[in-house]
Structure 1
Amino acid sequence: MPWLEQANAASGMAVDDQCKLKFLELKAKRNYRFIVFKIHEQQVVVDKLGGPDETYEDFTAALPGNECRYAVFDFDFTTDENCQKSKIFFIAWSPDTSRVRSKMVYASSKDRFKRELDGIQVELQATDPSEMSFDIIKARAI
């Protein structure tokens, strides 16, 4: 089964240095609100960057409706004790309408790629926009 071999080979996926660099900038300097990553030619690369003033709606609009992506989102919130906090979410976006092979490649590479990004606090898997609604993000952050 050649598709199975391709999926297994994908777990050895290369990660472009820009992925780690941009993630560090999001984490340390807060230069970005979100980063969307895609797999391109056997390598994870930066697909889109969201500026610090962009909203969660801007982030969800940046995800393609029928293609898989990885993404990180820096979520700011206020606790019940009125403390300002931030959590970095890792979102594995795998819409039901994406190709099966693509879903398999993203699924088999996810854990390795996530380990490259030191500082992820919450992980979310979504196949539909409702599974990563703002209310779900807020509930997972607290």
Structure 2
Amino acid sequence: MLDSTRLRGCLVHIDELVTHLDAVRPTGKSRYMARCPAHDDKSPSLAISEGDDGRILIHCFAGCNAPDVLAAMGLTINDLFAEPLGHHFKPTRNQISRREAWLICKREFYLLGIALSDYRKGKTPSSDDEVRIDAAITHIARAVERTDA
């Protein structure tokens, strides 16, 4: 078992990690198969590899999840990553163009116009129609909130 107090917050090197596993065999450059410590493994089912950015990737073909595999070694996901996982990802685009907002609003106002026309004729909306009317109002509000200025 790895000393998690010594490794906490540090990037564990793949060569150190595999020394604490059983029946390890290399399958390529910085790639290994080993017995999974999270279940009673008779033959190697745990793939360990190093990503292009130096992060350690693990996958148990028997179905164990990564946190359980690491817990069996006295580690957590945080012990494998020196930086947060999202560090290299660009922020997602939350804004929409005015044209996109206009198209959303146009579609939803059309639906609301039909509902209002039916209401004025004395028709009571069905429960499905009420759900769709509420959704239309929500879609309009979100489109306005997300419009880039």
More strand by share: 1
User: Given the two structures, how large is their TM-score scaled by the length of structure 1?
Assistant: 0.29
| Structure with bigger RCO (C-alpha 8 Å, 6+ apart) | 1
User: Given the two structures, how large is their TM-score scaled by the length of structure 2?
Assistant: 0.28
